[in-house]
Each structure stands twice: as structure tokens, then as C-alpha cells.
Amino acid sequence: MYGMVNQAIEAMVTEKFGRADWEKVKEIAGVDEPAFVTMKQYPDSMTYALAGAVSSHAGMPLPDVLRAFGGYWIQYAKDGPWGKLMMASGTDTYSLLAALDAMHARIALSFPDLRPPAFAVKRNGDSVVVEYRSDRPGLAPFVMGLIEGIGILFDESVTATQVASKDDGAPCDAFLVRAVPAAKAV
Ligand code: HEM
């Protein structure tokens, strides 16, 4: 994945724990990079190793780390060079979810080797079902954290529950997502 992703993990760890903890996380992960370059590609195995190292260093289950990282990524991306594009891609959680493929396609103009995920959003009463497709394994908790993070952007209270899992033989991962204005949340 592009260095931007590893940079966001670094930012999360240094913010929440500290620089010494980040150095320790890299050591546990066996990553010997003084700094990541935003636009450079690094092996996916490095990103997975970093997430695993955060999990063991912080004593937090890996799915919890990935979910927290999803929420963090949204705030990180919002403050970055593509933040305006993300905010212009939707007016609320559901519309941004429906625009994710178009948004990643725009981002791919700047990141030519991007391997973005694919999303399909289907209305389900006052909820939506979000299908998530990727050839990368194990990222469903990350996606739930991302979806929750999108809710915060629009001041909506969002719940994301996994309703189908590729690990259990489903054709893709799927999440039931319900967004309500934060003030009305019950
Ligand atoms: C400004 C906003 C965003 C930027 C700049 C961005 C950029 C990226 C980049 C660089 C990657 C790594 C892929 C690679 O290197 O091949 C990635 C992956 C990913 N992005 Fe985004 N993204 C943004 C917002 C979002 C949002 C809002 C979601 C919400 C669901 C999302 C979902 C994902 C997922 C799930 C992956 C993991 C890759 C996979 O599943 O295979 N991204 N994105």
C-alpha cells in the first residue's frame, strides 16, 4: 500500500502513545524505515505487520486496532490534501458511502498504482447494506471503523454491523449501516 497508509498508522500511534512507542512498534514489526514516503508503494505485508505490532504492543485485539485505525483514518484524510475531495463526495453518511468508488477513482489519478476496494450500497428501509470487496484479507473491522468515522464527519450517529463475511464463505463482506442525526440518536 502507499506510504500514506503507514504514515497514518505512525500518526495514530505517536498521537495516542508517543514517539518511543512508535519506535517500539516498528521494532516489533521488523520495519526498518526511518520515515515513510506518501507516494511510494510499500508491501502490504509491512502494513499488516505494523497493525499486528500495534496490537501486541498496546495489548489490544487486532480487530479493535483496525477499527480504531478506520476512525482515525477519516480524520487524518480529512486534514490531508484529499480532504476537500472527500467532503465534496457526499452530504451525509449514506451519500458518501455510495460515492466511495468514484472518490477512490479520483484519488487514483494521483496514485496511479492504487488498488482501491470496491463498495456497493443498497437501501434497506432506513438503513443501508454496504458490500465491500477487496483482494486484501482481514480488513472488515477497518471498514467498520471507517464507516463509523464517516458518521462523525456529518454529525450522525452511525452503527455498522457485519452481516456477511468472506471468511465464512460469503461472496463478499457486507455491513448493515444505520445513520441518524446525532441529536436524534436513541
Ligand atoms: C481523502 C480520503 C481518502 C484517501 C486519500 C484514500 C486513499 C487510499 C489509499 C492510498 C489506500 C491504499 C490502497 C493502495 O495503496 O493500493 C486506500 C485503501 C483503502 N481505502 Fe481509501 N482513501 C480515502 C478515503 C476512504 C474512505 C472514506 C473509505 C471508506 C470506507 C476508504 C476505504 C478504503 C479501504 C477499505 C482501503 C483498504 C484497501 C482494500 O480494502 O483493499 N477510503 N485508500
Q: Which atom of ligand 1 is nearest to the CA of 74?
A: 27
CA distance 182 to 134: 31
Q: Is the CB of 175 under 6 A from ligand 1?
A: no
Q: Which three cell numbers stand for residue 164?
A: 456477511
CA distance 164 to 143: 13
CA distance 125 to 39: 41
- Helix/strand/coil for 136: coil
Q: Which of 76, 33, 25, 74 is nearest to 51 (CA)?
A: 25
Q: Is the CB of 139 under 6 A from ligand 1?
A: yes
pLDDT, tens digit, 9 for 90 and up, residues 59-84: 999 999 999 999 999 999 999 999 99
Residue owning grid cell 519506535:
23
pLDDT, tens digit, 9 for 90 and up, residues 30-55: 999 999 999 999 999 999 999 999 99
pLDDT, tens digit, 9 for 90 and up, residues 117-155: 999 999 999 999 999 999 999 999 999 999 999 999 999
The superfamily (CATH) of domain 70-184 is: H-NOX domain (3.90.1520.10)
pTM of the complete model: 0.96
- Ligand 1 mean position to 17 CA, how many Å? 24
| Residue 185 pLDDT level (bands cut at 50, 70, 90) | low
- Ligand 1 mean position to 91 CA, how many Å? 19
